Amino acid sequence: MNQRRSRKTKREQQLGPQSKTPLPPRRKESPRPNPFLVALVVLSGVGGLLCLFGVGHALHTIWAISERQALVHGLPDVAAVAPGELAILDGRIAASVPTLHDEFVAYVRERHVSGKFVGRRWPRVDGALQPLTVETGTRTYTIGNDDYRFDRLLVAWSDANRWDEEATTFSGAIRIQGIAAGSQVMAVGRLLPKDGQLSFHANSVVGISRADYAQRLAEDRAFQWKFAGGAAALAVLGLYGGWRGVRRVMR
């Protein structure tokens, strides 16, 4: 009996007193995230992404406007170039040009479409183009082709626009815009021979003068820069708020 106790004592002296390993504290259950906070985080992040998309769209528009400004300011007048060179024809529609639809000598008609599942858009209904006679003050030119396009980089690319048909129960209203009889017109193109004479082959046409077009380009470019700056600030705030919110929810 004494030998057993002496062995136990020696073993305790060699290994030290045996202590029981303490159990880890029970982990507290994390509280459920506040639904309102989660919704706010989602809205903040989505809003930031949408603003970032708006910045990209504005920068793309600024780039397109800058290219058009360089074209308008850099191209010479048609009277100062040789045949075949790219130039600008700036003048007024002659009275001899027949109208195709009410006061319009060239036009496009579009229907307004919007709804719960459809974003606002303007699908084309119809339109018509024709050769145009343009008076510049010093001489008269003929736009001999009828396959030119309307330059619609700007919303206000023509002063000739109005509602052509009222909305009905089942369809939206129709707007019409284009070139009106006797109105200003600016065309980009080249003088090319046609039927033994030189005719202006237009690539694009707007229903305002060259000076007005240049001014509206500058105004829209300034607006796009302001929009891009505001959207960028909102994008930073939205993405930062979403990131901080995610961190708080994940705690």
- In angstroms, rounded to a whole number, what is the distance separating the alpha carbons of residues 69 and 104? 27
111 domain-assigned: yes
CB 185, CB 205: distance < 8 Å: yes
Q: Whole-model pTM?
A: 0.77
69 domain-assigned: yes
> What confidence score (pLDDT) does residue 30 get?
58
Chain mean pLDDT for the chain = 85
- The CATH number covering residue 225 comes to 2.40.50.200
Q: Which domain holds residue 93?
A: 35-250
Spell out the residues 6+ positions from residue 34 whose beta carbon is closer than 8 angstroms to its own.
Answer: none
- In angstroms, rounded to a whole number, what is the distance separating the alpha carbons of residues 47 and 239? 8
Total of domains in the chain: 1
> What confidence score (pLDDT) does residue 86 get?
96
- In angstroms, rounded to a whole number, what is the distance separating the alpha carbons of residues 133 and 184? 12
Which two three-digit tokens encode residue 48? 């930031």
62 domain-assigned: yes
- Residue among 50, 175, 167 nearest 104 (CA): 175
- In angstroms, rounded to a whole number, what is the distance separating the alpha carbons of residues 200 and 132? 10
Give the HSE-up count for residue 190: Cα atoms under 13 Å, Cβ half-sphere: 8
3-state secondary structure 42-109: HHHHHHHHHHHHHHHHHHHHHHHHHHHHHHHHHCCEHHHCCCCCEEEEEEEECCCCCCCECCEEEEEE
Tell me the residue type at 106: A
> What confidence score (pLDDT) does residue 31 get?
61
60 domain-assigned: yes
> What confidence score (pLDDT) does residue 74 get?
94
Provide the angle, in degrees to the nearest 10, between the axes of the packed helices 35-74 and 210-250: 160
Q: Show the low-confidence residues of the chain (pLDDT under 70).
A: 1-38, 41, 115-120, 243, 245-251
> What confidence score (pLDDT) does residue 238 get?
78
19 domain-assigned: no
210 domain-assigned: yes
198 domain-assigned: yes
115 domain-assigned: yes
> What confidence score (pLDDT) does residue 35 get?
67
pLDDT digits (tens, 9 = 90+) for 193-214: 887 788 999 999 999 999 999 9
